[in-house]
Chain A
Amino acid sequence: MISATDLRLTFGKGTPLENPALRGMSLTVNQGEFVTVIGSNGAGKSTFLNALSGEVMVDSGQIIVDNQDVTRLPTHKRASRVARVFQDPLAGTCENLSIEENLALAIKRGQRRGLTTAVKSKYLPQFRDSLATLKLGLENRLGDKMGLLSGGQRQAVSLLMASLTPSSILLLDEHTAALDPKTANFVLELTQKIIEEQKLTALMVTHSMKQALEVGSRTVMLHQGQVVFDIAGKDREGLEVKDLLGLFEKQRGLEVDDDSLLLG
């Protein structure tokens, strides 16, 4: 379980560019839930994910992962509990390391690293098996440099890496946004498959309302650094994009002016 309580964060405090990104954000994600997060540009989606992973420190509030307060812990000390896939397909892997070396880094996520060989032969069958599930032929290219792979292939491997060791929560930050529609679909289906098979708890930020409703078990909308609505279960079933817009307008009493939310 992961719970964030009253998170507040302002960028550039005391400067003319002062920007309050999180204004009392609270959200609790239960074990096994797959939550999709939507919101217009500047709603605080990425900042929220960065705060959960430790890339940014909140000014106030509390983040609890599996009964441990991680609010003040840096990224690398949260890594054993928090797995992450970035929006940029190149960000989740090291291009000048081989595929097997990238996987070997991930299999030790959040654990102590010693002086024994990193790519152990006992790992290789596991690496091959999980790569084979991608059906991209990567299981025969373990020694190839990551940089030789396409963006979609790299994002698929990033997903595998994030799910190679158990985590309390998987954070997906618009991880299909930078891919072409066909590849995006492939990565999204893979995401659903992995989350379902391994019964992962996941938080997926998306820019598409359609995707937010089709995927996952719960949808949360952010606006101006706060949760404006949170729907799950029966309320969410059969909901369409226009219903979602209606909900939003009712909640805030304002018009949605961000066209990009309607597209896609």
Chain B
Amino acid sequence: MLSEIAFYGALETGLIYGLVAFGIYLSFRVLDFPDLTVDGSFPLGAAVAAVLILEGWNPWVATGFAALAGMAAGAVTAILNVKLNILNLLASILTMIALYSVNLRIMGRPNIALLSEETVLTPWYSLGLEFHQVPVILFLIVVAVSLVLLWRFMKSETGLAMRATGSNARMARAQGIATGGMIILGVALSNGLVGLAGALFAQSQGAADVTMGVGVIVIGLASLIGGEAVLTPSTVMRALLACVIGAIIYRLAIAFALNADVLGLQAQDLNLITAVLVTLAIVLPGVRTNLTNRFSRKKA
């Protein structure tokens, strides 16, 4: 089955993708804004963090700037949409394409190794924990803090205004909410989380690479939809928990599929497996709703 190292490895990347899923929840679910910027803001976060760490900056400060860079990228997408009236999906593709060049400029080369550098993980290795558990524990803390902060935000006056913007923009305007501003803030926050995820990913994998963002949107969506299939997102808290659970399940499923020799799958089959998992995750909740409907109709 799954070796211990493969299991912890799946948890580690699962937690990082939990942050990505938070971001995608904000854009796709809360704001109803299909945002593909994440494919660019994930490597952007990695690039900013890697370059600053190489320059000798404190790794947490570097990670903070990575999140800010992600927010700036998200703001660009949202401004293209809100102020210049470019279709949201197209606006995000434009930013994503532009970020490929920006990321190469920031790094100055296609990839940067961080293996011998001090990262956010370094101090934790001297605590006497098992080597492969360290990133899991640290990222669990980061994800938990982000979850609580996001949850508090969504329950605040501004957060509620953001949810109303995505749910019924006309009503939101009639209540005095500047919907354009809410979209800019929300998409920026979303990509800030993804930039943070990219920075942590680069530090845990020991490298930043300009191509590391390819498919982040699909993995994030897979996590989001898969999580929602497991845990019905009837409240904000459940929706956020579903993001993390979905991301971890997704990574475990991938690790399991690649480790199960009986299936005969290899690393190059990853994208195929992802597509199958996303399809299942989209179809399964529908099947379940059908079943419950039938059940409750019988009761009534």
Interface residues of B in 166-197 (CB under 8 A from A): 167-168, 170-179
Judge whether A141 is part of the interface by a CB distance below 8 angstroms.
no
Contact of B167 among A75, A94, A104, A114 (CB under 8 A): A94
Measured CA separation A65–B159 after assembly (Å):
30
Q: Which residues of B contact A55 (CB under 8 A)?
A: 170, 173
Q: Which residues of A contact B168 (CB under 8 A)?
A: 91, 93-95
CB of A143, distance to nearest CB on chain B (Å): 9
CB of B189, distance to nearest CB on chain A (Å): 13
Q: Quick check: A105 and B158 within 8 Å, CB to CB?
A: no
Q: Which residues of B contact A201 (CB under 8 A)?
A: none
Judge whether A119 is part of the interface by a CB distance below 8 angstroms.
yes
Measured CA separation A95–B170 after assembly (Å):
13
Q: Quick check: A79 and B174 within 8 Å, CB to CB?
A: yes
Given A101-B160, A118-B156, residue A110 in contact with residue B171 (CB < 8 A): no
Interface residues of A in 73-99 (CB under 8 A from B): 74-77, 79-80, 83-84, 86, 91-97
Given A105-B160, A109-B175, residue A119 in contact with residue B170 (CB < 8 A): no
Q: Quick check: B170 and A91 within 8 Å, CB to CB?
A: yes
Q: Is the interface of B mostly helix, strand, loop or mixed?
A: helix
Given A91-B170, A93-B171, A94-B163, residue A79 in contact with residue B157 (CB < 8 A): no
Interface residues of A in 97-120 (CB under 8 A from B): 97, 101, 104-106, 108-111, 113-119
Judge whether A53 is part of the interface by a CB distance below 8 angstroms.
yes
CB of B161, distance to nearest CB on chain A (Å): 5
Q: Which residues of B contact A110 (CB under 8 A)?
A: 175-176
Measured CA separation A106–B164 after assembly (Å):
11
Measured CA separation A9–B157 after assembly (Å):
36
What is the interface of chain A, defined by CB distance below 8 A to chain B? 53-55, 74-77, 79-80, 83-84, 86, 91-97, 101, 104-106, 108-111, 113-119, 145
Known: A84-B174, A92-B174. 7 other contacts (CB 8 A): A76-B178, A96-B167, A97-B163, A110-B175, A115-B158, A117-B157, A118-B159
Top 4 nearest A-B pairs (CB, nearest first) are: A79-B176, A110-B176, A113-B157, A118-B160
